[in-house]
Structure 1
Amino acid sequence: MSKFAAVILAAGKGTRMKSDLHKVLHPIAGRAMIDHLMASVDALEPAHKVVVVGAGREQLESALGERAKTCLQEPQLGTGHAVQQAQAQLAGFEGDVLVMYGDVPFVRAATMQAMLDRLNDADGPAAVVLAFEPDDALAYGRVIADGEGRISKMVEFKDASETERACRLCNSGLMAAKAADLWALLDRVGNDNAQGEYYLPDIVNIAIADGRVCAAVTTDDPNEVAGINSRSELATAERQWQEEQREHWMAEGVTLRAPETVFFSYDTQLSSDVVIEPNVVFGPGVTVASRATIRAFSHLEGATIGEGCSVGPYARLRPGAVMEKGSKVGNFVEMKAAVLGEGAKASHLTYLGDAVVGKDANIGAGTITCNYDGYFKYKTEIGDRAFIGSNSALIAPVRIGADAIVAAGSAVSRDVDAGELRMVRAEQMVKPGWADRFHDTMKKKKAAAKK
């Protein structure tokens, strides 16, 4: 495979998003839209990646880090002008150049590869265009091509004849060309148009006029090249992505009780025979092993769920939560940076933070690991088969030994040895008749206040 460079255009202001956040950094399924695209590019191991930036460049450069070079387009004079700004970053590179858009995030690696393969066919196309056939062609630019995909003309909708507008093959804007051809053709693109801009598709018509072959590769999924320019289009992209993932996971043997209510992250990993009840949300970094059940209204992020575990309903698992085989968290239980050992249970109204809970331990309702003193986090260790009574506060750092029992209502601030019972409560005070006298006094006060 020839070496290729990816040029990603992301210099637009994104005014329709009405946001301080750069358009291509808005997330879909927990991942910035440009990162969806970068993941597909990276699957093909490019020799270079150059992102063309403009407005909000600081945000983009910070988000990209060392993953790609950047170049500035200022002023912004069209897509052809934008691609030209990458030429200096690619000085000396003689391979293929793939031009994409940061706000068109779902182009598949296989589609990119098909464009590069066509570019290197025997007829030596000067440029390869990614085309698509939408249900409604609207005002997209048209690609006039024969049955073999050889292009005779590229035309904007406003300039197209009625016959050309009847063509359903549309231009996505994505393109591939040899570096030498790309830079030479771009040098010949003019800006004699209503916007006074330099348009990338013009290189195709210039090459055709020179007698060169240009070709179209057509995607079988128009959603793959859908651009995102507004909050509404962002929501549409999220919905389409989620629908595809739901179908994917059900095909892989996952049960979704109400698929339309379950939301996945870009990196969610599920095994067969997992059952997911309605209204479950997965944030990034979740892995769920086989035969686990995620009950309704649970939220999971950065969590590892073992085989046969049960989560929820109404549970929240935060980053660093690990549930080992057969363990259980019930309603209104929250875990963060905590390990729940094999067969252990925390069934109700519990917070486990910075904790390790041993095998077959039982955590009673209302138990809290008090892990933070306002400055530092501390660890709680609970041994195998320990029993923590309801409404207990374990004040870290503290260790509860194996088979120990902490009596309900205890506030434990010192280690509990294995097999020990620890009860930390104030002595009960009994005042016979006090409540009756209190009620009588308060009723009289209330009656007097109404007069």
Structure 2
Amino acid sequence: MEIDLAPTAFFALEDEFVASFFDGCTFVWEAITKIETHTARLAGDKQTILGNVMPGAYLSDRPIFIGEGAVIEPGAYVQGPAYIGAGATVRHGAYVRENVILLPGSGLGHASEAKNALFLPGAHAPHFNYVGDSILGHRVNLGAGTKLSNLGIMSEKDAMTGKRPSIHLTINSQTYDTGLAKMGAILGDDAQSGCNAVLNPGTLIGPRTLVYANLSLRKGHHAADSIIKFRQNPRRVDRI
């Protein structure tokens, strides 16, 4: 059976603004290559501060848009370029690196870092998370300590070109070249991860799927409406 890998298989795109981030994408991961362009489109070449940048928060001098009702808490650092939409939250100790888009109602939490990432409305990475070269769908929630790894440990730069190999995905015996040297995870609408889960480079998670805590999930496609379990078998012995 052929797996649908189009953006519409992962996200509700009835809203024209949200759908614009996926224009021209045959495969969902192609939207990752467009995040930088969309950030520049939305932030422009200046800083627009309509929300609340609290004392102790720090903004670089790069283009940054902060929408009405958005809050940047003390101790957060927004490096940018970045677009932080209406009602979005960047909490204490968060690090917003280059080309991050937080759409309305989304959030990056304490001690969490995002880079080249798109958060659809209501998506949250609230505690000790890393979100690199990734897309979080509507209302996605990452459990505390979840990491979206974006670079394979064996991904070495070519000595001649200085470039890393692109990430390949094998799905239903068909191999796809993503064209991306760095690719984190794509989580469909309402997907969730448990605490300390690691989603390895090139992980695609369908809508409403749950990933158990402490699980290291391999790259590839994981179907919608699933529970991906990690079972431990703890055993008690007498202390001598």
TM-score by length of 2: 0.66
Instruction: Give the superposition deviation at 1:277.
Output: 1.5
Give the one of 178, 184, 188 matched to 1:383: 188
Q: Would you tell me which structure has more helix in proportion to its own residues?
A: 1
Instruction: Give the superposition deviation at 1:322.
Output: 0.8
Q: In 2, are the aligned partners of 1:412 and 1:424 still within 8 Å (CA)?
A: no
What do residues 349-371 of structure 1 show as CA deviations (whole Å, max 9, x unaligned)? Answer: 00000100000111110000111
Q: Which residue of 2 aligns with 1:326?
A: 105
Q: Which residue of 2 aligns with 1:400?
A: 205
Tell me which structure has the larger Cα radius of gyration.
Answer: 1
Q: Which residue of 2 aligns with 1:316?
A: 95
Q: Which residue of 2 aligns with 1:346?
A: 125
Q: Which residue of 2 aligns with 1:288?
A: 66
Tell me, yes or no, if structure 1 residue 300 matches structure 2 residue 78. Answer: yes
Query: How far apart are the structure 1 equivalents of 2:190 and 2:236?
Result: 39
Query: How far apart are the structure 1 equivalents of 2:111 and 2:205?
Result: 23
Query: How far apart are the structure 2 equivalents of 1:370 and 1:330?
Result: 18
Q: Which residue of 1 aligns with 2:42?
A: none
Q: Would you tell me which structure has more strand in proportion to its own residues?
A: 2
**Which secondary structure state, in structure 2, belongs to the residue aligned with residue 415 of structure 1?**
strand
What do residues 74-127 of structure 1 show as CA deviations (whole Å, max 9, x unaligned)? Answer: xxxxxxxxxxxxxxxxxxxxxxxxxxxxxxxxxxxxxxxxxxxxxxxxxxxxxx
Q: Which residue of 2 aligns with 1:421?
A: 227
Q: Which runs of 5+ in 1 are unaligned?
A: 1-265, 438-451
Query: How far apart are the structure 2 equivalents of 1:385 and 1:398?
Result: 16
Q: Name the aligned partner's letter for residue 212 of structure 2.
A: A
Instruction: Give the superposition deviation at 1:415.
Output: 2.3
Q: Name the aligned partner's letter for residue 204 of structure 2.
A: R
Query: How far apart are the structure 1 equivalents of 2:194 and 2:188?
Result: 14
What do residues 143-188 of structure 1 show as CA deviations (whole Å, max 9, x unaligned)? Answer: xxxxxxxxxxxxxxxxxxxxxxxxxxxxxxxxxxxxxxxxxxxxxx
Query: How far apart are the structure 2 equivalents of 1:391 and 1:379?
Result: 16
Query: How far apart are the structure 1 equivalents of 2:71 and 2:108?
Result: 11
Instruction: Give the superposition deviation at 1:308.
Output: 0.7
Q: In 1, are the aligned partners of 2:131 and 2:184 still within 8 Å (CA)?
A: no
Q: In 1, are the aligned partners of 2:184 and 2:199 still within 8 Å (CA)?
A: no
Instruction: Give the superposition deviation at 1:320.
Output: 1.2
State percent identity of aligned pairs. 26
Instruction: Give the superposition deviation at 1:431.
Output: 4.2
What do residues 225-257 of structure 1 show as CA deviations (whole Å, max 9, x unaligned)? Answer: xxxxxxxxxxxxxxxxxxxxxxxxxxxxxxxxx
What do residues 300-354 of structure 1 show as CA deviations (whole Å, max 9, x unaligned)? Answer: 0221100111111111000011100111121111000011110111110000001
Give the one of 48, 52, 59 matched to 1:275: 52
Q: Which residue of 2 aligns with 1:337?
A: 116
Instruction: Give the superposition deviation at 1:379.
Output: 3.6
Q: In 2, are the aligned partners of 1:371 and 1:380 still within 8 Å (CA)?
A: yes
Q: In 2, are the aligned partners of 1:341 and 1:357 still within 8 Å (CA)?
A: yes
Instruction: Give the superposition deviation at 1:424.
Output: 3.5
Q: In 1, are the aligned partners of 2:143 and 2:192 still within 8 Å (CA)?
A: yes
Following TM superposition, the consecutive aligned residue runs of length 4 or more in structure 1 with deviations greater than 3 angstroms are none
Query: How far apart are the structure 2 equivalents of 1:424 and 1:412?
Result: 10
Q: In 1, are the aligned partners of 2:184 and 2:200 still within 8 Å (CA)?
A: no
Instruction: Give the superposition deviation at 1:278.
Output: 1.9
Query: How far apart are the structure 1 equivalents of 2:66 and 2:119?
Result: 14
Q: Name the aligned partner's letter for residue 146 of structure 2.
A: T
